[in-house]
Structure 1
């Protein structure tokens, strides 16, 4: 626990240092209004990263989240074009259900056919993108084709923060409760920490991994509608490559690729770190292409930190065993 807390403290300090450095070039960046805007911009990444966190904790990975987002978003946009008077709450339910169904496909293939998660999700990522093209025939759906209610929901402002940001906050709260206060949350950690021991405690490893993919898919579907509503455009390649940012947010936030270790707060901080970098680079006249280099460097540092921490933990366990003998 102390390791997790120290990791979160270091990351929080890095974000504060980054903000301080940016403020020396552009003081307006750290105003409350602008920081609220940065949080809102980062909200889709936060929601997706929280879903990916659960999957990675169970020793899996979901590379299809961005494609799930794009497919669900396109379907929601097409439904809105066909039935513009349909209430937004129905669209939200469709997005969640469809996203969860796409996630369930991944989960079933991993669980029942025992196919490696990276292979499954690489395949479904391509399939989902292909389905978008078949449904849309390669055509875009633009703002003038969408109803004001459809696009206005995510943009509505409550107490200075758009609804998109509030949904991200609600997702953080729900996931925090699930991971810290429920049997399912503990099962995610147990399966990732030691799947063989988890079996002996009565946990169905395959079913737990399946549920992780369903949660990840549902959050991707929700983000799909919110993304389309916010940017008021739907097309085949929307959010292309965004799955890499999602994985990066988790790794930077301390989620161990080996599974079983990490936290909701760490994932949130990892996403915020990338969000600040992405929003700050244009402000300080640095090419956005540097974002890729910075993200890559942060991932390497984070993975190295995780590996060293894991080896240290292993040595402590071995020393304890020697003293016990």
Structure 2
């Protein structure tokens, strides 16, 4: 008996599937927009990229926002929102300076651990209030945003942390480079890779998506929704705490205004990067690219001679466009599922 095997269909190889996935991913469009802005700004002013400071700033400036945006994206994926991250960044940045001043000789790793733990505790407070009080996260975190900022202002007062209060080795983390890549950017990318791997490959990460897609169904399926929601806020707070520590290393000077407004930038970066505000859709990669796009636009538009008002308007248009696109894609996916269901009958 002679057996024959059907020739492999075109477009079914792993390489072709990868190419198709990359071509259709939301992140690809955002990345293309980022590259286009860099190219246009560089043509207008070559120093935007082709100078030591230009290339360094291109990588360094968005790194802190990247950390906060990744944490915000994880919370948004669970169909929640964290408006307190900017206040957590400010509190942790000032705490970092106080640790160096009040505990002379404290190890740098101890300061990092303290800042991350402090941010995680603040995030846990948010998560517990959202999970147990059954109050929308928007309301809870709006309240804690003002509470944390008020504590920061009361604690800081008219005082501030100066670069001379911080060890040179610590400040070097925010200014030094390895092979031309800023250390701060390397730290941010490592955190991004770990977060992306967890969200894609581990059960806990997949459960975040399941909860965001349909919280009621997740409850019925037996997922530990309360624990997962709290853990999402803990991660967001911890990453904001890490960003606060690195903020002190990057800028040296820390006042009560540190981190002000970062919560909206982080949410905007996540939404622009394809994280659906309704939950269950998006990746931390998209949030990271959104953070780079957001701050690169802020650097590029003045070079192109665009007024400050229009800079903010462009960001607003990007956010609205991302939300509309999410809605269009959701409707198309719903219609496709209905059509497939009718075909199988």
**Interval of TM-score (by shorter of Structure 1 and Structure 2):** over 0.9
User: Are the aligned partners of 2:82 and 2:137 in contact in 1 as well (CA < 8 Å)?
Assistant: yes
| Residue number in structure 1 paired with 2:190 | 170
Q: In the TM superposition, what is the alpha-carbon distance from 1:312 to its structure 2 partner?
A: 0.9
Give 4+ residue runs of structure 1 displaced > 6 Å after superposition. none
Task: Determine the C-alpha separation between the residues in 2 that align with 1:149 and 1:6.
Answer: 41
Match 1:230 to one of 250, 263, 266: 250
Superposed CA deviations along residues 71-115 of structure 1, whole A, max 9, x for unmatched, are 111111111111232111000000110000000000000011111
RMSD between superposed Cα atoms in Å: 1.8
Q: Which residue of the partner structure matches residue 65 of structure 1?
A: 85
Partner of 1:239: 259
The aligned counterpart of 1:22 is: 41
Compared CA separation, residues 149 and 82, structure 1 to 2 (3 A): farther
Matched, 1:75 2:130: no
Kindly state the Cα deviation for residue 315 of structure 1 after the two structures are TM-superposed: 1.3
Paired position in structure 2 for 1:292 = 312
> Per the alignment, in what secondary structure is the counterpart of residue 154 of structure 1?
helix
**Match among 207, 218, 230 for residue 210 of structure 1:** 230
SS of residue paired to 2:62: helix
User: For structure 2, which runs of at least 5 residues remain unmatched after alignment?
Assistant: 1-19
TM-score normalised by structure 2 residue count: 0.89
Which position in structure 2 is the counterpart of 1:313? 333
Q: Is residue 66 of structure 2 the alignment partner of residue 46 of structure 1? A: yes
Structure 1 length normalisation: TM-score? Answer: 0.95
Size of the aligned set, in residue pairs, is 325
1:14-51 per-residue CA deviation (whole Å, 9 max, x = no partner) reads: 11221222122112223374334212110011111110
Which structure is larger by alpha-carbon Rg, 1 or 2?
2
- Pick which of 96-105 and 202-211 moved more: 202-211
d(CA) in 2 for partners of 1:245 and 1:309? Answer: 24
1:157 is aligned to 2:177: yes
Match of 1:31 among 50, 71, 93: 50
Mapping 1:177-216, distance limit 5 Å: 177-216=197-236
Question: Could you tell me how far apart the structure 1 residues matched to 2:129 and 2:138 are?
Answer: 11
For structure 1, list consecutive stretches of 5 or more residues without a partner in the other structure: none
Match of residue 256, structure 1, among 276, 279, 286:
276
CA shift, 1:274, in A, is 0.8
Q: Which moved more, 1:195-204 or 1:122-131?
A: 195-204
Counterpart for residue 111 of structure 2 = 91
